[in-house]
Structure 1
């Protein structure tokens, strides 16, 4: 019989404090979404306001051939318009991507006691954290998601402290993704017509983290969100979706030719990875590139995993519009901030659209 959560506090204790997560709720026999997870009307994903983003993925293998310029242009155009695009032939073996998804399911199918070994304050490393929702202590309505977050310092620490169920594949994925991200960052900066020192690029992509997100099947998906509206704070995010889908990207006023449509669904493409431009690139480019607001819908049919690699600047890196751009354009649309301060602000609040970007205004 499903436990009875008489109060919002008892639910919060079960899910957050005792580490059962949303998966624990579903495993307990829950048949309807608790009130604490019901999103306000304006935050729910209404299918009538959405459309599929049916754009062919960009073939990265063609960067090294006669179509080089065409591929560069496709990457730049996607970064300038939507801030999201999909890539194939990215150099990450497809077997590795399949193993990653399997290992994520293996981890989340562990008992609550086994997963709670990675709870903040107990975890063997401050870089490894198992949790639920985004900022549960700040959110009016919780997100329907559990996750394990693995920050990278070096291979030795990763293999020692990351969960056994996924550490080797997650590390391979992170390293191969980082190579691809470097190429994309160099392409985007070069297109701005400015010179950036090698050490600066190292600073912009110097911090790395891989997450595994788990969205248990949901009895009332129309009332919940897996992840609330936000743009990513870092440089670039690389995302592996499984075949279920549920990722939505917001159209802004400049690229919205769809009348009633507000959100584009980014459909899973077998073997493809989603590339997402973060706030850092938007700020460095003085607003030329987009960091799109996005969110995740839940589903009632099966549990879903997604696996992002987040590439951030080093915490001590100062991020602001590149000086040459400001000289050329005569205006700085953002102020310079220490990335650690930007990050602190991002994690101090619940997801709420592009509010975090206002910190750099």
Structure 2
């Protein structure tokens, strides 16, 4: 017998507690979005009136040629303004990217009970978590998304505990893309006029998470969001989009004919990866680089997948503006803290724009 999606407790237990997710609800057949997923008007995404961020992807292969300095400038400029950019010739095989999307669809296409074994509290490993929305217990309106999150510790642990449907391709994606992440981090730190030793960079990108996100078809996409407004907590995020699109970024400043505060869509470009700046990099740069506020819309035509890798500091890492920049700027715009404190705060609150950065404000 189908559960009642009109009753809030029944819906919450079915979707969240029992691990059926949004997909489990959609598979029962929905003609309209349940009330718990209807976003307040100010949080809805106006697809028809949004513009597109049409800058071409940055060709990373040119870092090895005569255009090296130009590419470095393009990367730094993007990090200083929008906080988002796309890259091509990034070292991750296009065939692997296609396999990743297939693996994500295969995982989420399983019966609910196969996915629910990875729910928090019952998962065979604390590094693997299947869930829905972000912090369902604290959200005024739930997000139209299911996910599997895999924290990397060792290859052996990943091969033992990550889901069979995706572990091999997810590991290969992590191995190849993290080389690119390190290169981009070194470029951005270098553009600040600072040199960090290898052990410090290891600490800043020493923790890695691979997520697979699934956004089921939605009967009323104009009323919902797949992910609410937020910035990422780490150094950099690498994102693989499928061909459906739906990722929107908020303009930090006026540029290219678009106004500050406008939301622009990051189009899906075949073979490209999206990179965005996280809160940690904004803090380290003393505000020069911008962690990008972003969100995701839903669609009524086809389910969507995206696969991000989050490169974040080790929990014990001390984070604060780099001393050389504080001396140069004459002010520390953020305080120093242990990253684990920031992470705990981030995961304890519902998405709310860049409010996560308040934790680091130098008050």
| TM-score normalized with structure 2 length | 0.97
Q: Secondary structure at the match of 1:131?
A: strand
**Alpha carbons 2:253, 2:260 under 8 Å: kept:** no
Instruction: Name the CA distance, whole Å, in 2 between partners of 1:188 and 1:182.
Output: 10
Instruction: Name the CA distance, whole Å, in 2 between partners of 1:245 and 1:15.
Output: 25
Partner of 1:51: 51
Instruction: Name the CA distance, whole Å, in 1 between partners of 2:256 and 2:323.
Output: 31
Partner of 1:271: 271
Kindly report which structure 2 residues correspond to 1:15-30, keeping only aligned pairs within 5 A, or say none: 15-30=15-30
Deviation at 1:5, TM superposition (A): 2.4
Deviation at 1:258, TM superposition (A): 2.3
Q: Secondary structure at the match of 2:137?
A: coil
**Alpha carbons 2:285, 2:321 under 8 Å: kept:** yes
Deviation at 1:196, TM superposition (A): 1.3
1:94 and 2:110 aligned = no
Partner of 1:313: 313
Instruction: Name the CA distance, whole Å, in 1 between partners of 2:280 and 2:261.
Output: 27
Deviation at 1:111, TM superposition (A): 0.7
Kindly report which structure 2 residues correspond to 1:161-200, keeping only aligned pairs within 5 A, or say none: 161-200=161-200
Deviations 1:168-226 (A, max 9, x none): 00000011111000000000000101121221111101000100000000000000000
| TM-score normalized with structure 1 length | 0.98
Instruction: Name the CA distance, whole Å, in 2 between partners of 1:43 and 1:49.
Output: 14
Instruction: Name the CA distance, whole Å, in 1 between partners of 2:253 and 2:9.
Output: 40
Kindly report which structure 2 residues correspond to 1:54-73, keeping only aligned pairs within 5 A, or say none: 54-73=54-73
**Alpha carbons 1:51, 1:264 under 8 Å: kept:** yes
Kindly report which structure 2 residues correspond to 1:207-356, keeping only aligned pairs within 5 A, or say none: 207-255=207-255, 257-259=257-259, 262-356=262-356
Partner of 1:11: 11
Partner of 2:145: 145
Q: Secondary structure at the match of 2:276?
A: strand
Q: Secondary structure at the match of 1:118?
A: coil
Partner of 1:201: 201
Task: Provide the aligned C-alpha RMSD in A.
Answer: 1.3
Deviation at 1:360, TM superposition (A): 0.1
Unaligned runs of 5+ in 2: none
Instruction: Name the CA distance, whole Å, in 1 between partners of 2:331 and 2:160.
Output: 47
Deviations 1:26-70 (A, max 9, x none): 101122100000000000001354200000100011111111111
1:116 and 2:112 aligned = no
Unaligned runs of 5+ in 1: none
Q: Secondary structure at the match of 2:300?
A: coil
Q: 1:256 to 1:360 in 2, by over 3 A?
A: farther
Deviations 1:261-309 (A, max 9, x none): 7101000000000001100000000000010100000000000000000
Partner of 2:136: 136
Q: 1:259 to 1:335 in 2, by over 3 A?
A: closer
**Alpha carbons 2:52, 2:264 under 8 Å: kept:** yes
Q: Secondary structure at the match of 1:189?
A: helix
Instruction: Name the CA distance, whole Å, in 1 between partners of 2:90 and 2:257.
Output: 30
Q: Secondary structure at the match of 2:29?
A: coil
Instruction: Name the CA distance, whole Å, in 1 between partners of 2:33 and 2:256.
Output: 33
Instruction: Name the CA distance, whole Å, in 2 between partners of 1:262 and 1:183.
Output: 30
Q: 1:328 to 1:261 in 2, by over 3 A?
A: closer
Q: Secondary structure at the match of 2:138?
A: coil
